[in-house]
Structure 1
Amino acid sequence: MTETRDAMTATRLDRLRGGLKRRYAREARFRLYGILAIGVAVAFLALLLGRIIDQGHTAFYAHDVSVPVYLDPAEIDPAYPQGTNFEQMVAQQQLASRGLEGDAAGPLAAEMRGLFSSELKFEIARRVAEDPSLIGQTVTFDVPVSDEADLYFKDEISIDTPPEQRRLTNQQIGWLDQLEDDGNVRAHFNSRLFTSGDSTEPELAGVLGAVIGSALMLMVTAFLALPIGVAAAVYLEEFAPRNRLSALIEVNINNLAAVPSIVYGLLGLALFINWMHLPRSSPLVGGLVLALMALPTIIIATRSSLKAVPPSIREAALAMGASRTQTVFQHVLPLALPGVMTGAIISLAHALGETAPLLLIGMVSFIPGIASSITEPTGALPSLIYIWENASERSFHERTAAAIMVLLTFMIVMNAAAILLRRHFERRW
């Protein structure tokens, strides 16, 4: 009998050990799967960022060329220097310096002009207008090279690149090599990328107009969405009666948070532009559309933060004689503020990266200027990225990646601010 019991006990122990072993094995596999999932996510993120950085880092430097120009008094009107064809003048002099002056008005002149940016003629005209005494002298100007020449100096194209994949001719490449051998080419940080607006010429294009447009839109969005969203959340969570109407409102708010952003763009087009006749492509309309899109997220985040405040805070305030309004605005809301701020910043960061609503309200148009008010036409970083990526010039593609890096930097800063604010003000219960 004892032997039978011992055998049964041993069998049970073997089963328990076997069950524990299988359970530990499942837990180990689960941890392994989790590590693999994190590894795959990090790998894809590194691949994405690496591809963007690899494509866009060349946009942060550019090349200038030093061009000596004889400012011929016979061709320049001191009263109106802008009327002089300085591009042709430079091309003729460059060809003459190479013994090709006989083709000063032919195809070689066009090829020579193609080495320099159009900024050349504006720079010469500006200098002559500021100092007419330069006329009759030989002055050296430092001007940007054309976009294709810039790609050549960045080793993006070469003499071995098939002719159908480059706009530079072999003759132009030979001239560029000669300029570089003479020490007339200089690489420098491309400050124009951050100090200029959009342009049809890649070497002159910058993100400043889009950055200012995005900032103005976020200002309008924050001014409208934050007070309305927080007020709506406070009312629904603290004051609204629990009935079918409030339940219906809550369900619809949750549904609105999942509505595709392009639907908000259609709403903004119909409501703010076609019906209210607000200026198209303006930060005002863009901010209104993004505010509508951000409102549900802000309301949901604020309600979650209010729910996280312990009921004892409310009970203690009411027990001390505070009214319900005083309890909410003097005790509950300040304690929920870290979560409210975090949700608001994350919602604004999400709105910053939206593209579809902006395209529908006209921000896909080419706008070279820089807006100074919320009613002027402007671009935004997402729409600028869309425009540049669809441009035919290859130089715009590197600037597309650079603009993506600028946009990602804005979003990382905003998300980091949300995390820091939450950690600084958060209180654990």
Structure 2
Amino acid sequence: MKNMTEAAPMVEKAIAVTPAQAAASRLKQRYAAERRFKALGISAIVLALGFLALLLVTILSNGLTAFVQTNIRVDVTLDAETLGVDPVKPSADALAAANYGQVIKNAMYKAFPTVESRPERRQLAALVSSGADVGLRKMLVANPSLLGSTQSVWLVADDDVDMAMKGHITRTAGAEGSRLTDAQLGWLDALEKKGDVAKKFNTALFTVGDSREPEQAGLWGAVVGSFFSLSITLLVCFPLGVATAVYLEEFAPKNRWTDLIEVNINNLAAVPSVVFGLLGLAIFLNFFGFPRSAPLVGGLVLALISLPTIIIAGRAAMKAVPPSIREAALGLGASKLQMVTDHVLPLSMPGILTGTILGMAHALGETAPLLMIGMVAFIVDIPASPLDPSAVLPVQVYLWADSPERAFVERTSAAIMVLLFFLGMMNVVAILLRKKFERRW
């Protein structure tokens, strides 16, 4: 009896909850769950944007300084005897092979006449880049009449001097781990007070190829190599991809073989890119004997990577064309080939072009397959054709990131910025094409 008495209030309480109240309680719980899910989604987006912002800020902070280069102004005397050329009528070959390094050293010694010991003279000459003679050589070869005169020229500073001027390494005398000696810091301060040290736009970054010296390294060789590779990729994968998409979507019979081909194409889009590099190494290099590190081989390998993307995008674009377009063309007497080439393909071309550009952008950022075919070699010369050895932008980033010098850190970030710029431009073109030619049925 006691247990029944205690349970009676609970029964009355349970009976007191009406169906409307129960429904309101469940609705409140669903709304609360929806708010939690929405908060989690917003938090994930904010977190992702935060990581993206951190990445971009890191790249920009490290890479923006690469677009300027420290230069030192010196008065060089183009003495024929020091250069080792004929003072009356020097030949172009003699001027190109002249001893410009000694001319630069003499100019630095003249700027600081109190420096006499050999160790200090070596340190003084080290303020200027070992490749600074290139600009001097070009100037004299272009204008031989300057021989025998004294010219005030701006020479590229050494990478340690450049890093010190940009604040990446300390300029405090006696600091532990300083790359510059106290004497070098003093000379640098003296040159700066005279106005003979300045930071100028780094044109070499966009006009020359790679170099072992950070201050002399440029991206132009990798840019040209990427252009050749992507040109080969486009010439190969666009016609093959469009033709394959047209056949599978419009002409191929629907049977187990075409189903197998479709499954394999979809699977190829998910295959790791390094596998395509191994395929290119086995076929294009070992079997066909194509030149190693050439944009021709790189373009063919990247074409294999881009083909599945273009085929899938092409088929999706053709599926979006309404069946009434096909039926109307066939009803007016057009053949199936005319129906495809005159109606379906032009209407689906915006989607095909968008997929092609996105596939090309994907190919531009690939590194692993190009490493497998030997495009990781140190290449100084600018490639003149797709058969010449070359690097590409992502491989150049990889090479510079592996270099120990501090100056290559900013070069690496600058190369990433250039690569992201090209990728962004390709995606912008894809969006504009889609917006311009998109049709809603």
Q: CA deviation at 1:9?
A: 11
Q: CA deviation at 1:71?
A: 3.6
- Alpha carbons of structure 1 residues 73 and 281: separation in structure 2 relative to 1, 3 Å: closer
Q: CA deviation at 1:317?
A: 2.3
Please tell me whether the aligned partners of residues 87 and 113 of structure 1 are also in contact (alpha carbons under 8 angstroms): no
1:393 to 405, 423, 440: 405
Partner residue in 1 for 2:380: 368
1:95 to 100, 106, 109: 109
Please tell me whether the aligned partners of residues 294 and 386 of structure 2 are also in contact (alpha carbons under 8 angstroms): yes
Secondary structure, counterpart of 2:74 in structure 1: strand
- Alpha carbons of structure 1 residues 298 and 130: separation in structure 2 relative to 1, 3 Å: closer
The correspondence of residues 258-297 of structure 1 with structure 2, limited to 5 A, is 258-297=270-309
1:222 to 228, 234, 251: 234
Taking the aligned partners of 1:347 and 1:130, their CA distance within structure 2 comes to 44
The correspondence of residues 309-328 of structure 1 with structure 2, limited to 5 A, is 309-328=321-340
Letter in 2 for 1:336: S
Letter in 1 for 2:171: I
1:28-84 deviations in Å (ceiling 9; x for gaps): 222222211211111111111111111101001112111012344543323334555
2:29 to 22, 29, 41: 22
Letter in 1 for 2:182: N
Please tell me whether the aligned partners of residues 163 and 169 of structure 1 are also in contact (alpha carbons under 8 angstroms): no
Partner residue in 2 for 1:330: 342
Partner residue in 1 for 2:7: none
Tell me, yes or no, if structure 1 residue 238 matches structure 2 residue 244: no
1:306-360 deviations in Å (ceiling 9; x for gaps): 1222222222222333222222222222222221111111010000000011111
Tell me, yes or no, if structure 1 residue 66 matches structure 2 residue 73: yes
Taking the aligned partners of 1:195 and 1:95, their CA distance within structure 2 comes to 31
Partner residue in 1 for 2:362: 350
Flag structure 1 segments of 5+ consecutive residues without an equivalent.
1-6
1:88-124 deviations in Å (ceiling 9; x for gaps): 4433453354343532xx1112111211123432333
Partner residue in 2 for 1:45: 52
Taking the aligned partners of 2:215 and 2:323, their CA distance within structure 1 comes to 61
Please tell me whether the aligned partners of residues 88 and 113 of structure 1 are also in contact (alpha carbons under 8 angstroms): no
Secondary structure, counterpart of 1:317 in structure 2: helix
Secondary structure, counterpart of 1:75 in structure 2: helix
Tell me, yes or no, if structure 1 residue 31 matches structure 2 residue 12: no
- Which is further off, 85-94 or 327-336? 85-94
1:250-288 deviations in Å (ceiling 9; x for gaps): 111111111110111111111011110111111111100
- Alpha carbons of structure 1 residues 377 and 13: separation in structure 2 relative to 1, 3 Å: same
Q: CA deviation at 1:23?
A: 2.0
Taking the aligned partners of 2:97 and 2:161, their CA distance within structure 1 comes to 26
- Alpha carbons of structure 1 residues 367 and 166: separation in structure 2 relative to 1, 3 Å: farther
1:306 to 298, 318, 321: 318
Letter in 1 for 2:240: I
1:227-264 deviations in Å (ceiling 9; x for gaps): 10111011111111111111111111111111110111
- Which is further off, 24-33 or 173-182? 24-33
Letter in 2 for 1:42: L
Please tell me whether the aligned partners of residues 197 and 208 of structure 1 are also in contact (alpha carbons under 8 angstroms): yes
- Alpha carbons of structure 1 residues 322 and 390: separation in structure 2 relative to 1, 3 Å: same
Tell me, yes or no, if structure 1 residue 75 matches structure 2 residue 87: no
Q: CA deviation at 1:164?
A: 6.7
1:166-217 deviations in Å (ceiling 9; x for gaps): 4322211111111111100121111211111111211111111111111111
- Which is further off, 123-132 or 109-118? 123-132
Please tell me whether the aligned partners of residues 119 and 143 of structure 1 are also in contact (alpha carbons under 8 angstroms): no
Tell me, yes or no, if structure 1 residue 359 matches structure 2 residue 371: yes
Taking the aligned partners of 1:198 and 1:385, their CA distance within structure 2 comes to 11
User: What is the aligned residue count?
Assistant: 421
Letter in 2 for 1:322: A
Letter in 2 for 1:196: V
Flag structure 2 segments of 5+ consecutive residues without an equivalent.
1-13
Tell me, yes or no, if structure 1 residue 256 matches structure 2 residue 256: no
Tell me, yes or no, if structure 1 residue 170 matches structure 2 residue 182: yes
Taking the aligned partners of 2:22 and 2:211, their CA distance within structure 1 comes to 75
- Which is further off, 16-25 or 129-138? 129-138
Secondary structure, counterpart of 2:75 in structure 1: strand
Letter in 2 for 1:194: F
Partner residue in 2 for 1:404: 416
Taking the aligned partners of 2:103 and 2:208, their CA distance within structure 1 comes to 27
Taking the aligned partners of 2:156 and 2:275, their CA distance within structure 1 comes to 43
Tell me, yes or no, if structure 1 residue 194 matches structure 2 residue 206: yes
- Which is further off, 187-196 or 17-26? 17-26
- Which is further off, 380-389 or 91-100? 91-100
Taking the aligned partners of 1:161 and 1:171, their CA distance within structure 2 comes to 9
- Identity among equivalent pairs (%): 51
Q: CA deviation at 1:20?
A: 2.0
Please tell me whether the aligned partners of residues 104 and 133 of structure 2 are also in contact (alpha carbons under 8 angstroms): no
TM-score (normalizing by structure 2): 0.90
1:125-152 deviations in Å (ceiling 9; x for gaps): 4444455554444321211111111111
- Alpha carbons of structure 1 residues 16 and 162: separation in structure 2 relative to 1, 3 Å: farther
- Alpha carbons of structure 1 residues 346 and 49: separation in structure 2 relative to 1, 3 Å: same
